[in-house]
Amino acid sequence: MGTWNAGAPGFREIGPEVVQAAARCASLGSAQLRTLDAVRDTEGRPVQYVFDFTEGSKDQRDLLGGKGANLAEMTSLGLPVPPGFTISTEACRTYLATGREPDGLADEVERHLAGLEAQMGKRLGDATDPLLVSVRSGAKFSMPGMMDTVLNVGLTDISVSGLAAAAGDDRFAWDSYRRLIQMFGKTVLSVDGERFDHALETRKKDRGAESDVDLTVDDLRDLVAEFKDIVRDESGTEFPQDPRTQLDLAVRAVFDSWNTERARVYRRQERIPDDLGTAVNIVAMVFGNLGPDSGTGVAFTRDPATGEQGVYGDYLPNAQGEDVVAGIRNTLPLAELEQLDKTSYDQLLDIMETLEKHYRDLCDIEFTIERGKLWMLQTRVGKRTAAAAFRIAGQLVDEGLIDEDEALSRVTGAQLAQLMFPQFDPAASRTPIARGMAASPGAAVGKAAFDSATAVEWAQRGDDVILVRRETNPDDLRGMVASRGVLTSRGGKTSHAAVVARGMGRTCVVGVEALRVDPRAREFTTPDGVRVAEGDVISIDGGTGEVFLGEVPVVPSAVVDALYNGGTATSSASASASASGEQGDTARREVVDAVLRLMRHADDRRRMEVRANADTGEDARRARELGAAGIGLCRTEHMFLGSRRKIVERVILARTPEQRDAGLDELRPLQRADFTEILEAMDGYPVTIRLLDPPLHEFLPDLTDLSVKVAVAEATGSPDQDAAHLLAEVQRLHEQNPMLGMRGVRLGLVVPGLFQLQVRAIAEAAASLLARGLDPRPQIMVPLVAAVQELEAIRDMAEATVAEVAAETGTDLRFPIGTMIELPRAAMTAHAIAEAAEFFSFGTNDLTQTTWGFSRDDVEATFFPAYLERGVFGVSPFESIDADGVGRLVSIAAWEGKETREDLELGVCGEHGGDPDSIHFFESIKLDYVSCSPFRVPVARLEAGRAALVTEGSDSR
């Protein structure tokens, strides 16, 4: 958007939608734009829906989804990828919009399937040597476990015998068939998955088998027959014996899975748009369940929990891919693959190095070994914990793979906020009861809940909860979101629980084999007899994998300690590190160093200032220590609570000018002391002081209580005249909707002397500090202005009062006077209000309420959940700025205010000032600063730097 220019065309001429549209276009890379051009005709209609892996690249995630784009990229790198093709997200969007597959899709799939059959030398579902395919989802953004996959498509009663003969392994063929019927029944035909699980567990119990690999071929044949009966009973239809029907229904099921409840919940949690759709990847099957020389696994090029370099991941011999992520069998550490198959292990390490250097980031890799042959099934930039994100970013800079700008773009304010949470106190006594795998760091304490519904219910009533499961599945997402942490007895670092918890920033410990979790009895037990029932408090350490009985105290984060101490981690950081030994010490120090390094770079790169919302000297000092460059909002109404409230009440209800002046005189020294402390704490930095802005009823006696008091006095024959007079005054001033009544500038105009008192106290405080050689910089903000005439009246009074104090004290006092833009009319008349204002501070909390026409306190617990569920909101407009509505009002006011007054200072002081997404919006419209709570100042500093990089990149394109 460039710099402000008072002579440039007005905002009303170009419109904010043009700016926003330009930004959206700029965010698309040239490769994506070329791709979109390539698949549409001159009238914008798609002409290609299906793409072979040889046709795509990693830059086409919008079209091919993340999985399809990366399969294409690995294919182009010459890595061993099973051949296949991708049905685009455009096809899914058309299907979701119309309820049917787009015209021509079936023919395209047929052509690409024929090409795949020719390449493999096999036909789908052939009776002698069948081609089998997997049908996998793959959206633009990773949504682990949230959408559906079907493996072994193409197996039928006829082709299973051909597969057995071709593989020379009857057991493998029937195991693959029972897996297909189970996945197809649950995913495509909506059969209750518990019925399949129960049948499998019963069979294992009857045979005394520890796991499914111990079942015989006869057991598996019987299970196939039983599974087909379950399909018929539950769905009213037979399991399809036509391979192409299986394929078509599986593709449609993947499309439909985009809108499952768990997928919608996950997208809301991760703020992923609902209109992207998913691609579908059709891939020739390779088999990890062909015996001990086969297997499947997941590998990370660095530890996604800590960022440590090394060999990380899980491997499961004689298994298919879903066995690893489902956590139904505990896996082997990836390093043990070296003893099982050194050739494949060495090849895998070479490929991991290739991919990490190519993607210049941590890669999450899925692979299968089929009788000694390594196949790559997927790669993606891996999800990681907050600690790992900062540590890896610093490592990659040191390795020369990325620069500091790129490193800054790879961490987020949300991740920094996670690192600022407390950790367990290493000096506190604790009762360890078990230990598992550290899957997602953090300290979590809460009541044990053994199902997601209970976790959600308890969290809604305000309890902290730890969700305890044998293993989680996608249907547990609501419980995971509601819980402080997740604990499972099965699974590894790449299980569903671990991957999802890391992505959400939840503490997670998995694979605690010592725990015997009994969801029916709602308890778990340990081998030494410890019993934890539902509702008992436990603590879990996601950094060490430890589980403790009861509540373990926490200590401040080492990152916060370092931020407070100007870049040096002190006692608590060292203590926390030493508790976990030398390795923990190194890891923590690397994380702290990386945070401080990227914070310094963010400060160098950001354009916007970051100020704090602070009402006391203590808050001001804390904010300054955390890097705030001033106070963007000092709420003076908070200074009149407690014992001072009665004084304000006397001022408002005064019967004579003398009574009012007496109350004001009593308040002035108190206010002067308040402002002196805050201005001194922020010496040299601006302090924006909002004049009194409470709803009037907050400073009046309760109407009901007063009415009862007067009625009782009259009923007992001893009327209280003073109380009766007070009741009459309160009734006169009573408002049906105090939030939209006599508050803000209206109170200052109607109650003579109230604002004048505050301005005089500010001026006297500044004069006293100037006399001491300090540099106070107060700014006077007039709240709730809707018309310029209101501001002009208060401004005239304020300037006259400041001049009086300047003359009395012999000091040169000159304070900027501005207003808070928090009403739609103020935003729409900003060009006029700017004539009397030297700054605008956008009060986005009230602006959101008045724009939407609802009260935050009244609606968040009533219809907001339904609005989020129905997609009316992607996220609460009080949490992240409503860019299309409230944001547009801010844009209009900013542009038109600048047209009137080129040197107009623009800031935001609502809670959105600490929200990462909102900060990016405010940077895009060139506000001068954001202001937020003191604790969120580091988050805002980081995001302001990241936002500047994004805006610079858009401008350069």
Which residues are annotated as part of the binding site for substrate? Answer: 635, 690, 822, 843-846
The single residue of 92, 909, 912, 920 carrying the catalytic annotation is: 909
Do 450 and 487 touch, CB atoms closer than 8 A?
Answer: no
3-state secondary structure of 840: strand
Binding residues: 635, 690, 822, 843-846
Letter string b/e over residues 592-614, b meaning 16 or more CB atoms within 10 A of that residue's CB:
bbbbbbbbebbeebbebbbbbbb
Q: With residue 259 as reference, give the H or E element that holds it.
A: none
- Which residue carries 């005394």 as its tokens? 208
Nearest to 63 by CA among 45, 83, 87, 96: 87
Residues 6+ apart with CB under 8 A from 687: 620, 630, 631, 634, 678, 679, 776, 777, 778, 779
Measured CA to CA, the distance from residue 85 to residue 69 in angstroms comes to 10
The single residue of 496, 601, 831, 920 carrying the catalytic annotation is: 496
| Residue 909 is a catalytic residue | yes
**Separation in Å, CA 937 to CA 473, 620, 684, 926:** 37, 12, 18, 19
Measured CA to CA, the distance from residue 276 to residue 265 in angstroms comes to 15
CA angle at 220 for the pair 214 and 222, rounded to the nearest 5°: 130
931 phi/psi in degrees, rounded to 5: -130, 140
Do 324 and 297 touch, CB atoms closer than 8 A?
Answer: yes
Phi-psi region of 32 (alpha: psi -120 to 50; beta: other; left: phi over 0): alpha
**Residue 251 identity (one-letter amino acid):** V
Tokens coding 557: 């984060």
Residues 6+ apart with CB under 8 A from 245: none
Residues 6+ apart with CB under 8 A from 365: 298, 299, 300, 301, 313, 351, 352, 355, 376, 378, 379
Tokens coding 491: 């699974």
What secondary structure letter does DSSP report for 527? T
Tokens coding 396: 């990659």
Q: With residue 557 as reference, give the H or E element that holds it.
A: none
Measured CA to CA, the distance from residue 244 to residue 153 in angstroms comes to 9
3-state secondary structure of 380: strand
268 phi/psi in degrees, rounded to 5: -60, -45
Catalytic residue list: 496, 909
